[in-house]
Amino acid sequence: MLRTEADVLRTLRTGTYTLRDIYEEVAQTADIARDDGLAPPTPAHPTDAVWRRRVRNWLQHRKQQGAARRIDRARWVIDAPPERATVYLLVADGTIAGVEMRVSDAVALLENIDEPIDLVVCDPPYGLGRGTSDCSSQRVYATRDLATVVPGYIDVPAGDYEAFSNAWLKAAATAVRDGGQVAIVTGPQQAAVVQVAAQRAGLTFVSSIAAYKPFAKRTTRRFAFAHWTVTVMTRGPVNSRRRTFNIPADLPMARSGAAYPLDVWLDNGRADRAAGLLRYDNTLPQKLCRRVIVAHSNPGDLLCDPMAGGGGFAEAGLDTGRRMICADRNPSAIRYVAARLLGERLWPHTQPPGTGGRRRNLTRPADGQLDLLSEMPR
Ligand X SMILES: C[S@@+](CC[C@H](N)C(=O)[O-])C[C@H]1O[C@@H](n2cnc3c(N)ncnc32)[C@H](O)[C@@H]1O
Q: Report the 10 Å Cβ neighbour count for 189.
A: 13
Sign of the CA dihedral running 354, 11, 339, 342:
negative
Q: By CB under 6 A, is residue 268 in contact with ligand X?
A: no
Give 345's contacts (C-beta < 8 A, 6+ positions apart): 315, 318
Q: What is the DSSP letter of 20?
A: H
If the CB atoms of residues 68 and 314 are measured against ligand X, the closer one turns out to be 314
Work out which of 51, 153, 161, 265 binds ligand X, going by CB under 6 A.
153
Q: By CB under 6 A, is residue 284 in contact with ligand X?
A: yes
If the CB atoms of residues 163 and 262 are measured against ligand X, the closer one turns out to be 163
Minimum CB separation of residue 269 from ligand X in Å reads 12
If the CB atoms of residues 15 and 317 are measured against ligand X, the closer one turns out to be 317
Smallest Cα–Cα separation from 249: which of 296, 295, 183? 295
Q: By CB under 6 A, is residue 333 in contact with ligand X?
A: yes
From 80-88, 123-131, 221-229, 359-367, give the range in contact with ligand X by CB under 6 A. 123-131
Alpha carbons within 13 angstroms on the beta-carbon side of residue 201 total 28
If the CB atoms of residues 101 and 284 are measured against ligand X, the closer one turns out to be 284
> Hey, is 276 helix, strand or coil?
coil
Q: By CB under 6 A, is residue 78 in contact with ligand X?
A: no
Q: By CB under 6 A, is residue 172 in contact with ligand X?
A: no
Give the Cα separation of 287 and 13 in Å (integer). Answer: 31
Q: By CB under 6 A, is residue 328 in contact with ligand X?
A: yes
Give the Cα separation of 262 and 251 in Å (integer). Answer: 8
Give the Cα separation of 95 and 93 in Å (integer). Answer: 6
From 210-218, 231-239, 282-290, 341-349, give the range in contact with ligand X by CB under 6 A. 282-290
If the CB atoms of residues 7 and 328 are measured against ligand X, the closer one turns out to be 328
Work out which of 127, 129, 180, 312 binds ligand X, going by CB under 6 A.
312
Q: Could you tell me the end-to-end alpha-carbon distance of the chain, in angstroms, rounded to an integer?
A: 31
If the CB atoms of residues 97 and 128 are measured against ligand X, the closer one turns out to be 128
Work out which of 7, 21, 79, 105 binds ligand X, going by CB under 6 A.
105
Work out which of 2, 50, 106, 302 binds ligand X, going by CB under 6 A.
106
Total binding residues toward ligand X, as defined by CB under 6 A: 23
If the CB atoms of residues 108 and 210 are measured against ligand X, the closer one turns out to be 108
Concatenate the DSSP letters of all residues of 316-374 into one string: HHHHTT-EEEEEES-HHHHHHHHHHIIIIIIS-TTS-TTSSSPPTTSS-GGG--EEEEE
Q: By CB under 6 A, is residue 17 in contact with ligand X?
A: no
Give the Cα separation of 229 and 168 in Å (integer). Answer: 18
Q: By CB under 6 A, is residue 310 in contact with ligand X?
A: yes
From 7-15, 77-85, 259-267, 322-330, give the range in contact with ligand X by CB under 6 A. 322-330
Alpha carbons within 13 angstroms on the beta-carbon side of residue 57 total 15
Q: By CB under 6 A, is residue 280 in contact with ligand X?
A: yes
Smallest Cα–Cα separation from 302: which of 310, 289, 293? 293
> Hey, is 303 helix, strand or coil?
strand
Q: By CB under 6 A, is residue 118 in contact with ligand X?
A: no
Minimum CB separation of residue 77 from ligand X in Å reads 27
From 6-14, 28-36, 89-97, 307-315, give the range in contact with ligand X by CB under 6 A. 307-315
Q: By CB under 6 A, is residue 288 in contact with ligand X?
A: no
Q: By CB under 6 A, is residue 181 in contact with ligand X?
A: no
Give the Cα separation of 352 and 2 in Å (integer). Answer: 9
> Hey, is 160 helix, strand or coil?
helix
If the CB atoms of residues 310 and 317 are measured against ligand X, the closer one turns out to be 310
Give the Cα separation of 244 and 252 in Å (integer). Answer: 19
Q: By CB under 6 A, is residue 283 in contact with ligand X?
A: yes
How would you classify the pairing of strands 95-103 and 227-234? unpaired
Q: By CB under 6 A, is residue 125 in contact with ligand X?
A: yes
Residues that bind ligand X (CB under 6 A): 105-106, 123-125, 153-154, 156, 280, 282-284, 306-307, 309-312, 327-330, 333
